[in-house]
């Protein structure tokens, strides 16, 4: 729809932006609708995908280069993993389950939409954007490693692996799996930049 016409682009951009910006408050409302108090992990937006959903919405509205880079690399390197091994403790048709997939599909959709429809490209040289996003990934990890012990949370799954089976289960015990996660993240960021070799941003 975004490629087909100017009106289609405006509508699809608005829908994706709304999905990203509203997914966190709607997810909180979904958890509050259950008959038990939600965990603080589900109320404070410090999971990487919570932040990425908000960043993705802003990236579509502002076209800010850093926000677009974060959306593309975090959306495809991290959120795709969340979709393949969802860390969700309730099943369908519970509203938190539905909102989990709406949020994560909105992130991945935006991560693909930005280069395919809007013509975004990583910075030159090709390694610059992956390293910039990696820097912000390390900053995120440092902040969350301080917050988790204070709140008793597991944001970013940096205190322990999720209860559901995931890739983290194969990366060794804590804290060693943190280093493996960072190495995998950097590798994926660099690989995700490769399709843009020799391609310039559309104006």
Sign of the CA dihedral running 164, 23, 95, 83: negative
> Are 73 and 189 spatial neighbours (Cβ–Cβ below 8 Å)?
yes
Q: Which tens digits make up the pLDDT trace of 21-72?
A: 999 999 999 888 888 887 888 888 899 999 999 999 999 999 999 999 999 9
Torsion angle in degrees (nearest 10) through CA of 176, 154, 193, 201: -160
Predicted model pTM: 0.92
DSSP code at position 202: P
Q: Which tens digits make up the pLDDT trace of 111-168?
A: 999 999 999 999 989 899 999 999 999 999 999 999 999 999 999 999 998 887 888 8
């Amino acid at each position: 729809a975004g490629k087909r016409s100017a009106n289609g682009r405006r509508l699809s951009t608005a829908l994706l932006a709304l999905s990203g910006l509203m997914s966190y408050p709607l997810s909180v409302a979904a958890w509050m609708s259950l008959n038990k108090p939600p965990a603080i992990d589900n109320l404070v937006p410090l999971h990487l995908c919570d932040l990425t959903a908000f960043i993705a919405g802003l990236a579509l509205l502002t076209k800010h280069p850093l926000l677009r880079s974060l959306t593309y690399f975090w959306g495809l390197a991290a959120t795709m993993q969340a979709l393949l091994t969802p860390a969700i403790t309730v099943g369908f048709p519970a509203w938190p389950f539905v909102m989990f997939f709406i949020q994560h599909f909105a992130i991945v959709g935006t991560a693909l939409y930005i280069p395919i429809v809007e013509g975004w490209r990583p910075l030159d040289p090709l390694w610059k954007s992956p390293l910039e996003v990696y820097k912000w990934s390390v900053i995120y990890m440092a902040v969350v490693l301080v917050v988790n012990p204070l709140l008793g949370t597991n944001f970013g799954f940096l205190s322990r692996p999720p209860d559901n089976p995931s890739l983290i289960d194969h990366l060794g015990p804590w804290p060693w799996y943190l280093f493996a996660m960072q190495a995998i993240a950097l590798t994926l960021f660099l690989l995700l930049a490769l399709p843009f070799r020799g391609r310039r941003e559309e104006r």
